[in-house]
Amino acid sequence: MRLPAGPESEAGRTIVYRKHMKDNVQPLSSDVAAVLGTPDRLMALDAAVPIFTGPDPDFDDIASLAAQLFSVPISLVSILGRTDQWFLAREGTREIRAPSEDSFCARMIARGDDPMVVADASRNPDFACLPSVTGEPYLRFYAGAPVVVDDQPIGTVCVFDVEPHEETPPDLLPKLKRLASLAASLLKLKEEARRRALAAEMLSREEKRHALALDAANVASWLWDVSAGIVSGNETFYRMLGIKPPKPMSARRFFTAVHPLDRKATIGRLRSALATGKEYDGVFRAAKSGRWLLGRGRVHEWDAEGRPTVFLGINVDVTDGQLASERTRLLLRELNHRVKNTLAMLQSLARQTLRQTNDPVEFMDAFAGRLQSLSEAHGLLSDHEWGVIHLKMLLQKQIMPYAMDYESQIEIHKDEVELGPDQAVGLGLVLHELATNARKYGALSVRSGKVVIAARVVNEEGQRVLNMTWHEVGGPPVDPGGRRGFGSVLIERSLDKILGSSVHVEYLPKGVTAVIRMPL
């Protein structure tokens, strides 16, 4: 161990010390080495000081008090490893480490837990050969007390002098032992504080990770201090409720943040969860934002009398799901209405078709085609959730099956037109009857034939009206005096449900022409 004494320079003392270390190494005896290497002692040392990071100012006062008690120039608060002694605090030296094999303290702790005094090391056979005794700084006096942690000596509080001390006052060693006990307590306190800091840091990281995960998932978390009547939550919680600024609020304000129509049911569910300890589960709307929120939670803590004190909960924004559910209910109601109308129309079609023919095969062909027309219109409307469909789609669905070459035989000139459900179903039947008639007898029965369709939207006294014409050219000559069949009647009556609509069909020699008027 290199310790300063006298006026020599630090560099000179270092050179002398290293020379003595090289030439006069004093190996540890087997019993001292065994004590230093005891597993229990090393475990206690590792628990108290997992990593030595250098001198610790918190121990400086202990070293200073020890030096003052013994009126000596050198004092240490040290910890002893298997091969090295490290200085937590030192007075009278700048060193922070010394080999255990040259250590007074290693030999002291091997003798037990009592303090030890060496009056004159040069006359003591156990210490006389140490490099710090035979050479610079020529240590003579030593007094040390073990620092005991978990019943294991892991270090010392010790003092040195370059002059022998023939007598040591008897009250000094108990005081040195108390300083060593103080150092042990301080080590345990610092390690406990370090562990608490690590645990707090880990908890903080976990809380941050948890908060980030909740934020990323758009989940609001909240805590209701029932005894204090205060509700607090994360940023998402306040954002969902539309509360600004985001800060803890009274339970009363929390309840008023629930939409009035949902407030009574929500408070009832929360009270039931408080009373029974079961999970709270409910859906409500936020009063300000109007968002639909799914709430879940349960009592987290109770007092000694079993009364709930802390309630933890989460909210998840389920607005999209609620709107989708409501839209589904509306669609089902619309579908139910449409099915009833369609069934009534099918009954009428069946009766009218039967009146026109007694041939079952002919009936099935005619009826199946009209049923297919309704099916096509319904399919388009279903794909668009019974909203609106484009005229172009309806034309293609109803006419394409009856054209030999749709692209060359069907010429369409139209505005962008959107049709509602009743308009699409009615116009679909008209187009079906016109197309089947054209396929059997008119322009679509020959490859040279063509159907020209013009559809324009005009404004009539603030009402948008579709004016559409169907004109066949290039087909076989038409017999104007031919029998007026059910198809003709159906064409003219298919739009009866739409007020202000009309269909007029002309059987001209050069081809059938239909004029359709339908308010949008």
Find the CATH number of the domain harbouring 161. Answer: 3.30.450.40
pLDDT at 498 over 80: no
Give the per-residue pLDDT at 368. Answer: 61
What's the whole-model pTM score?
Answer: 0.44
Q: Which two tokens stand for residue 368?
A: 């199946």
Q: Which residues of 218-227 are buried (b: 16+ CB within 10 A; e: fewer)?
A: ebbbbbbebe
Task: Please name the residue that has the structure tokens 């408070």.
Answer: 267
Q: How far is CA 280 from CA 220, 267, 270, 286, in A?
A: 15, 10, 6, 17
Report residue 133 as tokens.
């005794």
Which residues span the domain enclosing 119? 10-194
Mean of the per-residue pLDDT values of the chain: 81
Confidence of residue 181 (pLDDT cuts 50, 70, 90): very high
What pLDDT is attached to residue 377? 62
Give the model confidence (pLDDT) of 364-408 as tens digits.
Answer: 555 566 666 666 666 666 655 556 788 888 888 888 888 999 999
357 vs 388, higher pLDDT: 388
Of 292, 317, 342, the position where a domain reaches its end is: 317
Query: Do both 164 and 233 map to the same domain?
Result: no
Q: Is residue 209 part of a domain?
A: no
What pLDDT is recorded for position 187? Answer: 92
At 349 the pLDDT is 58
245-249, 251-255, 309-313, 341-345: least confidently modelled range: 341-345
CATH number of the domain that residue 248 is part of: 3.30.450.20
- Quote the pLDDT of residue 481: 61
- pLDDT band, very low/low/confident/very high, at 160 (cuts 50, 70, 90): very high
pLDDT above 50: residue 16: no
- The DSSP annotation for 469-503 comes to EEEEESSPPP-TTS---HHHHHHHHTTTTSTT-EE
- Of 317, 338, 370, which residue sits at a domain end? 317
The pLDDT-based confidence of 100 (bands split at 50, 70, 90) is: confident
Q: Are residues 57 and 189 in the same domain?
A: yes
Domain assignment present for residue 90? The answer is: yes
pLDDT at 212 over 80: no
Statement to judge: residues 117 and 234 lie in one domain:
no
Does the pLDDT at position 296 exceed 60? yes
Is there a single domain that holds both residue 37 and residue 123?
yes
Specify the amino acid at residue 367: F
Q: Is residue 288 part of a domain?
A: yes
In a shared domain, residues 313 and 328: no
* 218 pLDDT above the threshold of 80: no
CB atoms within 10 A of CB 411: 13
Q: What is the pLDDT of residue 341?
A: 61
Structure confidence at residue 360 (pLDDT): 63
| Any domain includes 44 | yes
In a domain, 205, yes or no: no
99 and 164 both lie in a single domain: yes
DSSP string, 369-418: HHHHHHHHHHHHHHHTTTS-EEHHHHHHHHHGGG-SSHHHHEEEEE---E
384 and 445 assigned to the same domain: yes
Q: Higher-confidence residue: 28 or 159? A: 159
pLDDT at 356 over 50: yes
Q: What is the CATH number of the domain that holds 452?
A: 3.30.565.10
Neighbours of 506 (CB within 10 A): 12
Residue 211 domain-assigned (yes or no):
no
251-281 pLDDT, tens digit each: 888 888 999 999 999 999 999 998 888 889 8
Domain count of the fold of the chain: 3
Tell me phi and psi for residue 509, to 5 degrees: -55, -35
- Give the whole-angstrom CA distance, residue 12 versus residue 5: 11
User: Could you tell me if 393 and 432 lie in one domain?
Assistant: yes
Say which residue, 448 or 323, is predicted with more confidence. 448
In a domain, 226, yes or no: yes
Query: Do 301 and 372 fall within a single domain?
Result: no
Same-domain check for residues 294 and 330: no
99 close to 84: Cβ distance less than 8 angstroms: yes
Q: Which residue, 194, 226, 244, sits at the end of a domain?
A: 194
In a domain, 206, yes or no: no
Residues 262 and 369 in one domain: no
- Indicate the residue type of 330: L
* Same domain membership, residue 161 and residue 242: no
Confidence at 185, pLDDT banded by 50, 70, 90: very high
DSSP, res 57: G
